[in-house]
Amino acid sequence: MRTKAIATASVLTAVALGLSACGTSTESAPANQAAATSAIDKCKPAESSIKLAFAPQGTPAVEHAKKVMEQKFPGLKIDAVAAQSGNYSDLTKQIVADSAVGKRPDLIMTGLGQLRFWTDTFNPATIDPATLPDGYQKQFLSAGKVGDKSYLAPFQISTPVMLVNKTLLADAGITDPASIKTFGQVVEVAKKVTEKTGKPSINIASDDLPDWFSQALVQSSGEKFVADDGSFGFDTPKGREAIGLISTLAKEKLALNVKMDDGQAQFVAGNLAFQMATTSRIAQVLKNAPKDLDWTPIDLPGLNGPEGVLPAGGNGWVVISEDSCKAAFSQAMVAEMLTKDASLLSSGKDYSYIPVNKLATEELLKGDNIAPQMRYAWTYNKALTVWSGFAGAQTAPIVDTLRTMLQQMGTGKSAEDAVPAAAKTINALLGK
Amino acid sequence: MIRLYKLLGLVLGAVAVILALFPFYWMLRTAVAPADGNALTGLSLIPAELDLSNFARAWDRANLGSAMLNGITVTLGILLLQLLTCIPAAYALARFRFRGAGVLLGLVLACLLIPSQATLIPTFVGLNLLGLGDTKIGLVLPFVTSAIGIFMLRQQMLSIPDAIMEAARTDGLGPLRTLISVVVPMSAPSIAAFSMLSIFTHWNDYLWPLLVARSPEIMTPPLTLAIFQNADTGFDYPALSAAAAIVTAPVIILFLLAQRHFVRGMAGPEVAG
Amino acid sequence: MTTPVMNERPSLDQVVPGEGLAPQKPRAPKPSLTPYLLLLPALLAMLLFVYGPALLSLIGSFFIIPLSKGPWKFAGLDNYESVLGDPLIQQAAWNTLVYSVATIIPSMVLGLLLALLMERVGRMGWLAKTALILPMTANMVAMAVVFKWIFALQGGLANQTLAIVGLAPFNWLEEAETSLPTVILVGLWRATSLCTLLFMAGLTTIPGSIHEATAVEGIRGFAKLRTIILPMLKPTVVFVSVLSITGAAQVFEIVHVMTDGGPLGSSEVAMTAAQRVGFEYFRVGEASAMSFTLIAILLAIGIIGRGRSPKEES
């Protein structure tokens, strides 16, 4: 028996070493190279199939585009099953796990904040703007660019926004919410509301999208989130002062300091004057809010008033196929998901993303009884920057570092301490 | 003095029962809250109105019908295989003397100490190399045996009186016949208790199915809860609660039906009395 | 079919877990293959699904493993070094220890007390027993979500209850001071249920004759508990300890759903840290090194425990 055990152990070790050897030998230089996209007319649809990976919020548009594609390219197989979770980091985890075992999808949806993760580890194909359909708002492509190349086609996008309760503001003497432009005004108004209600009056969640929220506060104040050399951009006097809003709100005991969902529930219940959010939440707030809740989205204020370009939120499509024909079909599929009809399905009444196709926006605005809040979400047409933009495969640890930074300031630590610490950690992760 | 102890005991017991049950009550309470998204704010203990539509919505959106069927298939598949591997192994470790018995027993018990997370990635990669990723077989296979099962069953089998084993031998029964017609019936309480434990564990398992299951046809019940969470569009709390209640119900019903046997069986030996 | 008759009580050392073969085992007539064949399926499965992958994982812990394909880079002890040197992971290790101590001991004491109490309840006792065991049947992902609402800052039941007593609300899950204690409370809810069940089961093995005998001799209360009940429950205590320690050291779902280790790492435990490093940062080698450190610690506890538990009686 003992010899048997030893034999078994050695077989296992051999298998193990064999596996690791496999890893070393099969792939030599350019690992993960996605294929160049070949001309689609040279590809035979009946011999090809493409596999998609995406979160459930994309399902209606994906199903629509799938039907169109199957008519256009008879015989083409499209394997399009939504992931279970609508969370972008879960989606990334799943795609990486699938790819690790040889089930790499051809076309993936990804949170815009993970663009650099894909471009720096999976070498995706570039997106040719000429293939995009009529009406597509090309200014949004900037959210999917690295350098001057497009790797991602924005699909369901949103922008940072401040939701305000007009009743609470009116009680504090502010009748025109849109007049709130600076962080100073925000603090002042929040103080007045808190004095009246005795409760925290503003929520800027730190845990759901810490990179996006801090980027929004920094860029809205006209500072850079990522410096030109790719390192941490806002460890500057103005940057620290801008993000220091979180610290000020905590010290003055004005901040609620809960997750975005919980803050939203409080906002809907009429307990919160300000809730920082994304425009894609507007539809849900509208659905959940009682009729008598008087609220409106306003442009995100900045340190000295809004003076910068905001980061795009939401998701987009990236082609990571290793086969040139599959890449071509994936590219065609992307175009079908950005048409007017598809855009109505992906961004319409249920989701309140900004429609990426302006024909869809026009159609939506023709409807009756459009809530002004929805109008705000649909008609946003300013340029947007990429979300985050730090290089490399370190997206997740960077997000965690920024979360730590926000949470430290959420307990009253000053930006003068928290920001340099975050800058140091992130620059070390980036090798800067 | 004794009265005081009794009173204290009564209070402790009552508090413990309330605390144990309360979260279940609260789950149901949230599940019948109106689906207007305000479930988090100030729910009263007793609902003013019942909104049962959350259950229907949860059932449809999470495709719970198919998930429940999958859950049953996978859980029972695992149980069956575990019984097939654990009963003979426990029998060997309890009723035979052989070289290496101590080492092998140690090998079995040491499995209890290896966290499943440590074996997760290699098992996952291996299964995929065999083409078993995203299949029900892939959900079942890593759990074909159970160290706890072998341990529990061995305890029970150790207690079977020698006289009975001797009688079986005199009757001319071979080891296999003895196992089937003597040892298994006499270990029934432990087998039942272990079966329940296995069902609870694998019906509720989260981490492994999360990794393996991709297609909706393969999803098991706990995985379906993820569909109600979405960073862009927010949570649907009442539907999530309703789904959680539906997912929890089958094991609780099973437990209520088999409760007495379960407690006794967990004890192992000396249960017939 | 032989009718199950049980007229003999097994001697105590037969029931002691981790014990070798009991002395009065029937002697197999001659060495045979039978026991090996009986063990084969289970052992094969363990080699394939526990020891094999664990070994692969151990090997992996000495490499830097690329994200998808590409060569493995030998890293020596680098992974162990960066894991053990990472302050967040040190914090996770400390938190795991705190969590373990704070759940295991109270849950065992409470479990034993409740089990003793349940022995005395009358007709309606099964209802109470069922209620107490129910938490261990629950799906922890679902329950953790429920607990999250109970401990929500505003409108959460915990704070509403405190408000009745006039206490200010706590931000249970989102303050560094309260997040770990809150997670521990939930862990305790679950663990107490398991301990109660196992002790209830253990108590049923004490024959009625013992109770009669002690009653005749006038031994009762704490004296009876200390001198009679506890020694007889020893095997159960050992079993409960093993399950409690491995369970607590590997706690995952509760933390993952309720706080995901935050804020500021205040509730991070070994397994949430391992899954973060492995599946979010995609540093598979480092995650393997973490898992292995944990296995080594658990094995050490197991070996020490095993060295102490058996044979003390004889």
pLDDT tens figures, B66-119: 999 999 999 999 999 999 999 999 999 999 989 999 999 999 988 888 877 778
8 Å CB contact of A287 and B37: yes
3-state secondary structure chain C: CCCCCCCCCCCHHHHCCCCCCCCCCCCCCCCCCHHHHHHHHHHHHHHHHHHHHHHHHHHHCCEECCCCCCCCEECCCHHHHHHHHCHHHHHHHHHHHHHHHHHHHHHHHHHHHHHHHHHHCCCCHHHHHHHHHHHHHCCHHHHHHHHHHHCCCCCCHHHHHHHHHCCCCCCCCCCCCCHHHHHHHHHHHHHHHHHHHHHHHHHCCCCHHHHHHHHHHCCCHHHHHHHHHHHHCHHHHHHHHHHHHHHHHCCCHHHHHHCCCCCCCCCCCHHHHHHHHHHHCCCHHHHHHHHHHHHHHHHHHHHHHHHHCCCCCC
Instruction: Give the pLDDT of residue B231.
Output: 54
Give alpha helix (H) positions in A101-236.
115-121, 166-171, 183-197, 210-220
Chain A residues close to C174, C-beta within 8 Å: 207, 257-259
Fill in the DSSP letter of residue A145.
E
Closest-CA residue of chain C to B162 = C26
Q: Report d(CA C52, CA B22) in Å as an integer.
A: 42
Q: Report d(CA B153, CA A204) in Å as an integer.
A: 55
Q: Report d(CA B251, CA C189) in Å as an integer.
A: 18
Instruction: Give the pLDDT of residue A165.
Output: 96
Is position C25 within any domain? no
Residue A19: which residues within 8 A CB-CB, separation 6 or more?
B125, C56
Is position C185 within any domain? yes
Structural domain total, chain C: 1
Concatenated DSSP letters of B188-221: HHHHHHHHHHHHHHHHS--HHHHHH--SGGG--H
User: Chains meeting C at 3+ CB pairs closer than 8 A?
Assistant: A, B
Chain C residues close to A99, C-beta within 8 Å: 68
CB pairs < 8 Å spanning B and C: 320
Tally of CB atoms within 10 A around B84: 14
Instruction: Give the pLDDT of residue B94.
Output: 92
Closest by CA position to B149, among listed B100, B195, B110: B195
A295 phi/psi in degrees, rounded to 5: -140, 160
Q: Report d(CA A16, CA A8) in Å as an integer.
A: 12
Instruction: Give the pLDDT of residue A22.
Output: 39
| pLDDT tens readout for residues A235-283 | 999 999 999 999 999 999 999 988 888 888 889 989 999 999 999 999 9
Closest-CA residue of chain C to A24 = C71
Distance from CA of A62 to the nearest CA of C (A): 26
8 Å CB contact of A85 and B232: no
Chain C residues close to B32, C-beta within 8 Å: none
Mutate to test the interface with A, among B124, B227, B232 (most CBs of A within 10 A): B232
Residue B171: which residues within 8 A CB-CB, separation 6 or more?
none
Instruction: Give the pLDDT of residue C123.
Output: 67
Residue numbers of B between 57 and 86 with CB closer than 8 Å to C: 84-86
Let me know: does A329 contact A50? Beta carbons within 8 Å. Answer: yes
Residue B76: which residues within 8 A CB-CB, separation 6 or more?
none
Chain C residues close to A413, C-beta within 8 Å: none
Q: Which of A13, A24, A99 sits opposite C72 (nearest CB)?
A: A24
Instruction: Give the pLDDT of residue A402.
Output: 95
Rounded to an integer, what is the distance from CA C169 to the centroid of its chain? 32
Residue whose structure tokens are 């007390």: C113
Residue A371 has pLDDT above 60, yes or no: yes
| pLDDT tens readout for residues B225-237 | 877 766 555 667 7
Distance from CA of A41 to the nearest CA of B (A): 32
Beta strand spans in A170-312 (E): 202-203, 274-278, 295-298
Closest by CA position to C44, among listed B118, B124, B81: B81
Residue A3 has pLDDT above 90, yes or no: no
Three-class secondary structure of residue A330 per DSSP: helix
Q: Which of C137, C143, C155 sits opposite B41 (nearest CB)?
A: C155
Chain B residues close to C247, C-beta within 8 Å: none
State the average pLDDT over residues B47-69. Answer: 85
Q: Report d(CA A136, CA A339) in Å as an integer.
A: 7
Instruction: Give the pLDDT of residue C138.
Output: 86
| pLDDT tens readout for residues A329-348 | 999 999 999 999 999 999 88
Residue C150: which residues within 8 A CB-CB, separation 6 or more?
B23, B26, C156, C157, C158
Let me know: does A153 contact A132? Beta carbons within 8 Å. Answer: yes
Q: Report d(CA C28, CA A109) in Å as an integer.
A: 64
Q: What is the mean pLDDT of chain B?
A: 84
CB pairs < 8 Å spanning A and C: 95
Is position C55 within any domain? no
Let me know: does A50 contact A321? Beta carbons within 8 Å. Answer: yes
Chain A residues close to C52, C-beta within 8 Å: 12, 15-16
- DSSP-derived pairing of the beta strands A202-203 and A274-278: parallel
Q: Report d(CA A345, CA A360) in Å as an integer.
A: 9
Q: Which of B42, B102, B256 sits opposite C20 (nearest CB)?
A: B102
Closest-CA residue of chain B to C252 = B207
Chain A residues close to B219, C-beta within 8 Å: 84
Instruction: With residue A74 as reference, give the H or E element that holds it.
Output: none
Closest-CA residue of chain A to B107 = A5
8 Å CB contact of B41 and A97: no
Fill in the DSSP letter of residue A152.
-
In this structure, what token pair is assigned to residue C187?
């862990």
Is position C246 within any domain? yes
8 Å CB contact of C66 and A403: no
Residue whose structure tokens are 């090998």: B107
8 Å CB contact of B85 and C41: yes
Q: Report d(CA A76, CA A71) in Å as an integer.
A: 9
8 Å CB contact of A23 and C265: no
Q: How confident is the model at residue B30 (pLDDT cuts 50, 70, 90)?
A: confident
Containing structural domain, residue C247? 78-285
In this structure, what token pair is assigned to residue C91?
């914090």
The CATH number for C244's domain is 1.10.3720.10
Q: Report d(CA A347, CA A340) in Å as an integer.
A: 10
ipTM computed for the complex: 0.84
Report the length, in residues, of chain B: 273
Tally of CB atoms within 10 A around C146: 27
Chain A residues close to B215, C-beta within 8 Å: 81
Let me know: does A165 contact A296? Beta carbons within 8 Å. Answer: no
In this structure, what token pair is assigned to residue A32?
């993960």
8 Å CB contact of B38 and A353: no
Q: How confident is the model at residue A1 (pLDDT cuts 50, 70, 90)?
A: very low
Is position C249 within any domain? yes
Beta strand spans in A62-152 (E): 77-82, 107-111, 145-146, 149-150
**Adjacency order of strands within the sheet including A295-298:** A202-203, A274-278, A160-165, A295-298
Q: How far is CA A320 from CA A83, A91, A130, A132, in A?
A: 17, 15, 19, 18
8 Å CB contact of A396 and C70: no
Is position C18 within any domain? no
Tally of CB atoms within 10 A around C264: 18
Residue numbers of C between 201 and 220 with CB closer than 8 Å to B: 201-202, 204-205, 207-208
Let me know: does B208 contact B76? Beta carbons within 8 Å. Answer: no
Closest-CA residue of chain C to A411 = C175
Q: Which of B36, B100, B226 sits opposite A85 (nearest CB)?
A: B226
8 Å CB contact of B269 and C54: no
Chain A residues close to C73, C-beta within 8 Å: none
Percent of the residues in chain A that have a pLDDT greater than 90, as a whole number: 64
Chain A residues close to C63, C-beta within 8 Å: 20
Rounded to an integer, what is the distance from CA A86 to the centroid of its chain? 12
Instruction: Give the pLDDT of residue A380.
Output: 87
Is position C309 within any domain? no
**10-residue mean pLDDT series, chain C (314 residues):** 37 38 48 88 94 90 77 88 90 95 95 89 78 88 84 80 84 89 95 91 82 83 83 84 87 88 89 87 88 85 67 36
Distance from CA of B252 to the nearest CA of C (A): 7
* Max Cα–Cα distance, chain B, nearest Å: 72
Let me know: does B199 contact B79? Beta carbons within 8 Å. Answer: yes
Buried b (16+ CB within 10 A) or exposed e, B132-167: bbbbbebbbbbbbbbbbbbbbbbbbbbbbeeebbee
| pLDDT tens readout for residues A73-125 | 999 999 998 887 778 888 898 898 888 777 899 999 999 999 999 998 888 99
Beta bridge partner(s), residue C74: C63
Residue numbers of A between 101 and 140 with CB closer than 8 Å to C: 104, 121-122
Residue A297 has pLDDT above 50, yes or no: yes
Beta bridge partner(s), residue A319: A107
Sign of the Cα pseudo-torsion (A239, A244, A245, A246, in order): positive
Closest-CA residue of chain A to C60 = A20
Closest by CA position to B125, among listed C108, A263, A44, C56: C56
Q: Report d(CA C265, CA C273) in Å as an integer.
A: 9
Let me know: does C257 contact C144? Beta carbons within 8 Å. Answer: yes
Instruction: Give the pLDDT of residue A8.
Output: 40
Mutate to test the interface with B, among A84, A268, A285 (most CBs of B within 10 A): A84
Is position C281 within any domain? yes
In this structure, what token pair is assigned to residue B8?
């204290």
| pLDDT tens readout for residues A115-147 | 999 998 888 999 998 999 999 999 899 999 998
Instruction: Give the pLDDT of residue B267.
Output: 66
8 Å CB contact of C35 and B9: no
Closest-CA residue of chain A to B40 = A265
Let me know: does C166 contact C230? Beta carbons within 8 Å. Answer: no
Residue B34 has pLDDT above 80, yes or no: no
Residue B14 has pLDDT above 50, yes or no: yes
State the average pLDDT over residues B241-247. Answer: 89
Residue numbers of A between 33 and 92 with CB closer than 8 Å to C: 89
8 Å CB contact of B232 and A288: no
Q: Report d(CA B106, CA C90) in Å as an integer.
A: 31
Three-class secondary structure of residue A115 per DSSP: helix
- Expressed in angstroms, the distance from the first to the final Cα of chain B is 34
8 Å CB contact of C302 and B122: no
State the average pLDDT over residues A381-405. Answer: 89
Distance from CA of A245 to the nearest CA of C (A): 19
Number of helices (H) and strands (E), helices first, in chain B? 14, 0
